[in-house]
Amino acid sequence: MNNFFKKIGAKKINHVAVATYNINKVVQDWLSLPNSKLISKPLKNRKQGVNCAFVQLSNNLVIEILSPLGKKSPISKHLKRGGGAYHFCFEVDNIFNSIKLADNLGAKLISKPLNDIAFNNRKVSFLFHSDHGLFELLETKKNKNNSLVEKAFNRNKLDSNKLNKLHGIFLEIFPKIKGIKKDKMKINCIDKWDSLGHLQLIMAIEKKLNIKIPSSKLDDLDSFDKIYEFLKNR
């Protein structure tokens, strides 16, 4: 059988799920990878019988970490076999049509489509195929509000843009910082970052990022990290 996922209408991988008994520990394990980000803290998904959290890796792949919510959790059998990698989740435009197509190609329906709190009540369904194991389908149709994962993912992309723009502004005002780690960039520790340089920096940030920084905050914003944290919350 060729092109299975194409034939059932899969658009892209939404996430890869792993199962564990210790969700907090495994979340920290994934966060130990360079440039990984927590996009959703552990939450209880009672309809699915699991606790779930989401971590975005540096290549934008999202990892869903699951732990059982009670003895009858659907992941319990998997955990008894050792846990770990659990399923791939694919986005589809029409979940009911994709289920029918998958059934025609030999897949077995494990759970009928239901609204999932982790994806802002978009419908999800689980199927099993002998060639691909357990996999999840997630409808791509968006409700008025983005899903929990999508909101966090979009927020992280915005944060990344702010970080890059801020670094560019620093380079314009203080060209000699090139090669210096961001956590080492502090007032009076960088060439020309004195009181005058600080004022020039703040004015450049306000102009290029179209924001107003209260004068009462100027003395507190004495490092790259502090300025970035301030901007993240704007």
Give the pLDDT confidence of 88-130 residue by residue, as tens digits. Answer: 999 999 999 999 999 999 999 999 999 988 888 899 999 999 9
Question: Amino acid identity, residue 113?
Answer: P
pLDDT of 215 reads 83
Looking at the structure, tell me whether residues 126 and 218 fall in a common domain.
no
List, in sequence order, the alpha helices (H) in the chain.
4-7, 23-31, 76-80, 95-104, 148-173, 195-209, 224-232
Looking at the structure, tell me whether residues 86 and 42 fall in a common domain.
yes
> What is the CATH classification number for the domain harbouring 33?
3.10.180.10
pLDDT in tens, 119-171: 888 999 999 999 999 999 999 965 444 455 556 655 665 567 778 888 899 99
Number of domains in the chain: 2
Instruction: Give the domain-ending residue among 78, 111, 143.
Output: 143
Looking at the structure, tell me whether residues 138 and 164 fall in a common domain.
no
The pair phi, psi for residue 126, each rounded to 5°, is -110, 140
> What is the CATH classification number for the domain harbouring 225?
1.10.1200.10
Looking at the structure, tell me whether residues 184 and 84 fall in a common domain.
no
Looking at the structure, tell me whether residues 113 and 210 fall in a common domain.
no
pLDDT in tens, 174-213: 988 888 888 888 888 888 898 888 989 999 999 888 888 8
Instruction: Give the domain-ending residue among 143, 168, 193.
Output: 143
pLDDT of 105 reads 95
Q: Which of 117, 118, 142 is nearest to 39 (CA)?
A: 118
Handedness of CA 75, 81, 84, 85 (dihedral sign): negative
Looking at the structure, tell me whether residues 223 and 170 fall in a common domain.
yes
Distance CA 19, CA 63 (A): 11
Which two three-digit tokens encode residue 211?
Answer: 């924001």
SS3 content of the chain, % helix, strand, coil (to 5): 40, 30, 30
> Coil, strand, or helix at residue 208?
helix
Q: Which domain holds residue 115?
A: 4-143
Q: Please tell me what DSSP assigns to residue 177.
A: G
Looking at the structure, tell me whether residues 192 and 131 fall in a common domain.
no
Q: What is the pTM of this model?
A: 0.61
**Cα distances (Å, whole numbers) of residue 38 to 41, 68, 97, 165, 183:** 7, 20, 33, 22, 20
> Coil, strand, or helix at residue 61?
coil
pLDDT of 144 reads 47
